[in-house]
Structures are given as C-alpha cells and as structure tokens.
Amino acid sequence: MTPGDLLPESARYVAVHEAGHAIVSHYVGIEFATVAAYVEGGSFDGFVGAGFPEDIYYDTAHEEEDEDQWDGFGDDDSFDGDDDPAPEPSPEPEGDPEQEIMVSLAGRIAEARFLGYTLDEAAENGGGVADFDNVALLLLKVGKTEADIPAFMDRASQIIDEHWLQTLAVADALMRRGKVSHREFSDIISEAKKP
C-alpha cells in the first residue's frame, strides 16, 4: 500500500527531492522509518519521517499485501477487523536543530541538482514550502538568521554531492514503489556504494 499513486516519470524530481532529505538525514544521524513520494489528490507529494511503526505500515518487502487489512483503517480504533487498537504514530525523527536545518534544505538542493537549476531557480518553481517554513522555525530555535542559511546549504550540498549516486538510487526505488522503509533504504545505499 502506498500513500497514493506512483509518480509519473515527469515528476521524478519529487522522488529526488525526498531522497535528498533521506540521504542527508541518514548521514547526519537522524533516524527515520520511511521515505515516500507519490501522487495524492492530483498533487505530487512526499515525506521523510517516522509515520507508523515500520514493521506494521512500512514493510514493503511483501508485495502481496492483504488489502482487506486496510479496510476502515483510521476510521475508528480497530485494525485488521479485530479489537486490537490501531497503531500509534511514532514520534517524528529529531536531531540537533542545526542538523534538522540541513535535512530540511536537502530536498531542494537535490531537486535543483537533478533539474540543473540554481537553488534560486528551484525556489521559483514552487514545492518545498513546508521545508522552508521548518527552516525558519529551526533558525529561531538555534538563534540563527537567514544570513546563516548559506552555511547550512553548503554543508547539506556537500553530503548530497558525495552521495549523489545513492540519492538517485533511492529516487529510483521511490519511482517504482512509492515508499521505502529505513531497512530498505539502508540496503539501497549499501548497494549503490559498490563499484
């Protein structure tokens, strides 16, 4: 089950954007349960986050899921048609606020590199608004200003550049599957490191 429909090839940049968040998150040590990129309600979307516990919701190792288990999920407190409570979302991944700033900027950095845009040109093309809202809040939290953003962007860009082939490999998986668990993400980047 994916959060929505798979992305069309024309929206691969969305998968690269989310892969960028995941790569920088991984390399600064902020854990996450899943990364996803999809079409929902006619719009392209995605996220890197905790979501539901990986072993319940995000295990994509089993392609043949029983769709009946999702009937009514979220409508009440039942799951799988029995009296067990629905799984509780796990907390959002957190790290050092300065690391979180780099993670928030990473999606736009990866997207811009993929599209051949400068970061300013990528910003003009929309998307990632929530990322920049998050950056603004985190800057306040650590006593920094917008003038400090280029330093964070440089650090995040260095991680993306060093791990560009891994970023593209994660994006490829998102194009095929819509979502990737952290366990699968680790396998993908390990394989992409091989010569």
Hey, where are the domains in the chain? 9-56+90-193
pTM of structure: 0.73
Mean pLDDT by runs of 10 across the 195 residues of the chain is 76 94 94 88 83 36 35 35 42 70 91 86 59 83 88 92 96 94 94 81
In the numeric block, which tokens belong to residue 7? 């992305």
d(CA 142, CA 175): 35
d(CA 162, CA 166): 9
Look at residues 174, 171, 43, 155 and name the one whose alpha carbon lies nearest to residue 109. Answer: 155
CATH architecture of the domain formed by 9-56+90-193: Up-down Bundle (1.20)
Q: Is the distance from CB of 96 to CB of 143 less than 8 angstroms?
A: no
Q: What is the per-residue pLDDT for 130?
A: 67
Q: What is the per-residue pLDDT for 52?
A: 38
